[in-house]
Amino acid sequence: MSTVTATALQSAYPPIIPLQFNANQPTTIRLYPLSNYTFGVKETQPEEDPSVIARLKRLEEHYNVHGMRRTCEGILVCHEHNHPHILMLQIANAFFKLPGDYLKPEDDEVDGFKARLDERLAPVGRLGEDEEAADWTIGDCLAQWWRPNFETFMYPFIPAHVTRPKECKKLYFIQLPESKVLSVPKNMKLLAVPLFELYDNTARYGPQLSAIPHLLSRYNFEFVDEDGKIVAATPGSAPDDYVPQTKVLAGGDEDMKDLKEENGTN
């Protein structure tokens, strides 16, 4: 049997060193761990409309008086095991949405958006003693979705035949601080949904939410631990034994007692 020597495995050609690939790098966003944030519940916020038909009827009434409705929603990002998670509301254990809502006709866009975020997520009572009203850092507008008619469908563009869209929804990146207290209405759940779960999952989350991983791909991320140290950065990966999954953080009426069981905690 012949023996293969070490020299026989060596190539006569030198290795090809690729050129640098860091010109015009994306903006780097610092993400803090989910454990840095405190979550609570507050009074129920009943839905304004009992049905989809009623919601579209109210939209039509708004349009007839004030014109196109303006809606703002926030993409709030933290991390768990060095994987980005999106804070998201779940209503009636079925419907998912981002924090935010339509603006009042007289509202300034950013100030009105901050007020809507407060309605959904600002704490009340003792939890809110150290929190200031409208304490949100509004970042880039990552997407615009348009409602061409009084129907449920929205598009990331205005169809060519539409000259008067009925609603414009903007999705803003919200830079979360190092720590924050957040409270969700009792009739809703606040979830931390990993990008892994959202990606290409229109069947569960719909086209707007499942597109969030694409929207966030414009950024690089730094993942910070509880001590404020950078423990990972893009590119990077989570520990091999960790599988990203959605976590229920707060809310859900009587479901609260099942919260720890659902997350596998005591």
**What structural domains and CATH numbers belong to the chain?**
25-261 (3.90.79.10)
What is the distance between the alpha carbons of residues 177 and 264, in angstroms, rounded to a whole number?
27
Report the range of poorest mean pLDDT among 25-39, 99-113, 244-258.
244-258
> Which pLDDT tens digit goes with each residue over 128-179?
556 677 789 999 999 999 999 999 999 999 999 999 999 999 999 999 999 9
What is the distance between the alpha carbons of residues 231 and 30, in angstroms, rounded to a whole number?
11
> Which pLDDT tens digit goes with each residue over 71-109?
999 999 999 999 999 999 998 888 899 999 999 999 999
pLDDT more than 70, % of the chain? 85
> Which pLDDT tens digit goes with each residue over 59-74?
999 999 999 999 999 9
Query: Given the DSSP bridges, would you call strands 230-233 and 38-42 parallel, antiparallel or unpaired?
Result: unpaired
Question: pLDDT value at position 160?
Answer: 94
Question: pLDDT value at position 132?
Answer: 76
List of residues 6+ apart from 127 with CB closer than 8 A: 38, 40, 181, 183
Q: In the 8-state DSSP scheme, what is residue 236?
A: -
Question: pLDDT value at position 94?
Answer: 81
Structure tokens, 93: 């254990």
